[in-house]
Amino acid sequence: MRSSIALIGFMGAGKTAVGKVLARKLGKEFIEMDSLIEQKAGKTIPEIFNEAGEIRFRELEIEVTKEVAGKKHVVIACGGGVVLNKINIDRLRQEAIIVYLKAPPQVILKRVAKDENERPLLGEDQARRIKELLSFRKPFYERAADTTIDTSKLDIDSVAEQIIEEVKDNESPN
Ligand code: S3P
């Protein structure tokens, strides 16, 4: 039986906000992968992207995923691009049920528009980049997901409750 939950989905889907609430409700430890990457690099995510590039960021992401993947009884908020390397999902799935938090481009745009500097991948034309990246990544998210929750019309607490409902009788889907 898998005892952990990994939240995947695009930037702004609510992985961190939902993850914190979910971990508290379930009495599990909350882990944020982006923070671990920043700690490991001694730099912020935008600094890593600007100074070392996306490929270096993805290497760090693979290392951190490997470190957290075996942990039991944790809720992991993954970075939005974790699905791009299949090895990450294979590792996470050993101990975690993978929950895809889904939201349409216009909802994502509203949620990320505020923190422009924090999202190095979105550049200046955020609306266009979100659409492009989302359509490219859609199959990756769908293939990785054990279960999917549409977060566009739900508040944080309701998403967490829905995840609890989904995983309750279903600790080992797929
Ligand atoms: C990324 C998402 C970010 C962060 C990095 C790359 C992506 O995480 O890992 O900027 O490729 O989608 P959040 O989804 O937590 O914003």
Q: Which atom of ligand 1 is nearest to the CA of 120?
A: 10
Q: Residue 113 has what pLDDT? A: 79
Question: Could you tell me the distance, in angstroms and rounded to a whole number, from the CA of residue 64 to the centre of ligand 1?
Answer: 14
Q: Residue 124 has what pLDDT? A: 82
Q: How far apart are CA 15 and CA 111, in angstroms?
A: 12
Mean pLDDT of 133-152: 97
Question: Could you tell me the distance, in angstroms and rounded to a whole number, from the CA of residue 100 to the centre of ligand 1?
Answer: 14
**Bridge partners of 4?**
96
Count of residues for the chain?
174
Q: Residue 68 has what pLDDT? A: 98
Nearest CA owner, ligand 1 atom 1: 80
Q: Residue 90 has what pLDDT? A: 98
Distance of CA 48 to the CA centre of its chain: 18
Q: How far apart are CA 146 and CA 94, in angstroms?
A: 12
Average pLDDT, the chain: 93
Whether 115 shows a pLDDT value over 70: the answer reads no
Mutate to test the pocket of ligand 1, among 31, 58, 65, 121 (most ligand atoms within 8 A of CB): 121
Question: Could you tell me the distance, in angstroms and rounded to a whole number, from the CA of residue 79 to the centre of ligand 1?
Answer: 4
Q: Which atom of ligand 1 is nearest to the CA of 77?
A: 15
pTM of the model: 0.95
Question: Could you tell me the distance, in angstroms and rounded to a whole number, from the CA of residue 169 to the centre of ligand 1?
Answer: 30
Q: Which residue has the higher pLDDT, 122 or 160?
A: 160
Mean pLDDT of 7-20: 96
Q: Which atom of ligand 1 is nearest to the CA of 137?
A: 12
Contacts of 36 (CB under 8 A, 6+ apart): 64, 67, 68
Locate 41 and state its tokens: 């690099």
Q: Residue 170 has what pLDDT? A: 57
SS3 assignment for 113-132: HHHHHHCCCCCCCHHHHHHH
Per-residue pLDDT tens over the stretch 32-84 = 999 999 999 999 999 999 999 999 999 999 999 999 999 999 999 999 999 99
Nearest CA owner, ligand 1 atom 5: 79
Count other C-beta atoms under 10 Å from residue 63's C-beta. Answer: 12
Q: How far apart are CA 125 and CA 83, in angstroms?
A: 23
86: enclosing H helix or E strand: helix 86-93
Q: How confident is the model at residue 114 (pLDDT cuts 50, 70, 90)?
A: low
